[in-house]
Structure 1
């Protein structure tokens, strides 16, 4: 019976390697989103070159350019979330990334030692994604009355509060590290 228990526990422990699928999928999705963001920027640059020869198209270009650039930022941020997630779960479930730990150029944001650390890092980037998404919709929204402007103001206030609290938590982490 003890041998059967050892075999079962070994299978359970090795099943953590299934996380490799999530790691690979996250990294591939991150790459795809980074390429999509870059494509949005290329479209803006391409259209800008066209607008230089046709000044009447500038108004339409300006609105479209802002939307595409904000979409690109959104894609890059979500790409970053997926990258942090993929690297983080790899470090938590599979193995520490020795290269990242020893590289003086490496960013500490990609080094994860606990699930709470991963959750905090992801939460910060996700809040930034939500802020950019709000901005994207705020730019394209048609304001028809004072109430719409009040809602926009409340939204901006809530975003400012979110940024304030994120920076407070970030400052607390820096003090803990020193």
Structure 2
């Protein structure tokens, strides 16, 4: 009976290694998001130089430029969410990341000791993704009445209050 118990517990403990699938695919997703965002920025930079060297100034180009850059920032933030998730899950379920401990002056942003810390860090970055997404949507919204502008101002106030309380609740 002792043998079966030991076999079951060993199998159960090694089952945590399935978490590596989440770690690997989160890292691949982060890399894909970094590549896509960088490609978007590179494309708009090339287009900007072409437009300005040809002295052509298409209508609404500045809005397009800002929109692409904001979209890229959004993708970068999502990539960061994926990185934080993969590092956190690895450290929680598999092992501490030794190179991260060796860097004495490095950032502690990826250092995660509990599931609650991982959730807090992810929540903060996700809120920033939502703020950037809101800004991008607001950039392309056309307002036809003063009431719509008032709603927009209220939404900005709500976001500002949310960010204030999110920041206030952290350990700063």
Distance 1:140 1:119 in 2: 32
User: Does residue 137 in structure 1 map to residue 137 in structure 2?
Assistant: yes
Structure 1 counterpart of 2:29 = 29
- 1:164 maps to which residue? 164
The answer to which structure has the higher helix fraction is 1
- The CA deviation at 1:107 is 1.4
* Cα distance in structure 2, aligned partners of 1:87 and 1:95: 10
Q: Which runs of 5+ in 1 are unaligned?
A: none
Which has the larger displacement, 124-133 or 1-10? Answer: 1-10
Give the superposition deviation at 1:116: 0.6
Runs of 4+ with >4 A deviation:
none
Deviation at residue 42 of structure 1 after TM alignment: 0.7
Q: Give how far 1:38 is off.
A: 0.6
- Work out the CA distance in 1 between the residues paired with 2:5 and 2:146: 69
Q: Please give the residue correspondences for 1:70-89 in structure 2 after superposition, counting only pairs within 5 Å.
A: 70-89=70-89
Partner of 1:56: 57
Q: When the two structures are superposed, what TM-score results if normalisation uses the length of structure 2?
A: 0.95
- In 2, the alpha carbon distance for the partners of 1:127 and 1:92 equals 23
Aligned-pair CA distance for 1:30: 0.3
Unaligned residue ranges in structure 2 (runs of 5+): none
Give the alignment of 1:4-23 within 5 angstroms: 4-23=4-23
Give the 3-state SS of the residue equivalent to 2:95 in structure 1. coil
CA-atom RMSD, angstroms? 1.1
Task: Trace 1:85-104 onto structure 2 (pairs within 5 A).
Answer: 85-104=85-104
Report the alpha carbon displacement of residue 135 of structure 1 after superposing the two structures with TM.
0.2
SS at match of 1:55: coil
